[in-house]
Amino acid sequence: MNLEKHILGGLYGSLVGDALGVPVEFASREARQKDPVVGMRGGGSHGQLPGTWSDDGSLLLCAAESLVEKDTFDPQDMGERFLQWFELGHWTARGLVFDIGIATRQALLRISHDIPALQAGGSGLYDNGNGSLMRILPVVVASLSVPDEIFVSRIEQASSITHGHARSKMACVFYGLVVRKLVRGESAAAALAAAQDAFQHLYVDAEELATFRTLLRNDLVSEPELHIHSGGYVMETLTASLWCLLTTDKFSDCVLKAVNLGDDTDTTGCVAGGLAGLLYGFDAIPAEWRLSLPRQQELRELFARFERSLSKGGIA
């Protein structure tokens, strides 16, 4: 499989996983056990049509567009595009903003009041929602060829636009280290092992390192579902998404497992879908799910431009 198939799989996989989770967001795990999600459905929590992505997908698309349009990583431009989504519905699935996290809303309001984007994200302990993790994929993919120092700095800055606490930034970097291996064709287990080693080296003296102890163990795959939480906390989303990837062997099983964990289903589905899409590639995503996404032509054009920018050597 070529690099483009991995990247396209990650981008579409994120949107598909998000859309699978939208109708059942906030519902409990018990509800999903009684009525599991097995495919695209509409209605439910937000009353949306099948295939509708949420704020997760919209902000991911805004990030990709910023990288393409600027041909560089420009956090201010990225933050302003996020604000265009919030205020004008930019890159919404069907013209409607129907979901936004508290920390993201507060950060975007700060940007609207001329606070620089890199200072907009909250840095308190309770600002560690999953709102930067869900949209970080384009920044990671655009930074695959840069030195580690720039790779880490860029991901941390991208997180800081909405989530500035060290824990959120480090979670995005951990995810990025996994992505860096998956996109090169490594297995889920090998990608996680490499990320664990690199992460501990990069953050050897970080106070927050202890927060990642579950992710740094070599037995995450053996964790029972009872111990896997799927709320809006960034560490829950990262752990749950990786666990779903490690305990399944195809794209559809991974994203359905993620969504059926319940609670923050769209974001767990989005992050897990991105990882599974990177691992298994574009062709592994069920066509019925992918084609249920709206704005098909615009997605194709954006992703083609994104891939072309990478083929020229990546984003500066």
pLDDT digits (tens, 9 = 90+) for 92-102: 999 999 999 99
pTM, to two decimals: 0.97
104-126: average pLDDT: 97
Domains and CATH numbers, the chain: 3-311 (1.10.4080.10)
Q: What is the mean pLDDT of residues 170-194?
A: 97
User: Once rounded to an integer, what is the mean pLDDT over residues 277-295?
Assistant: 98
Q: How far apart are CA 240 and CA 171, in angstroms?
A: 13
Residue 1: pLDDT over 90: no
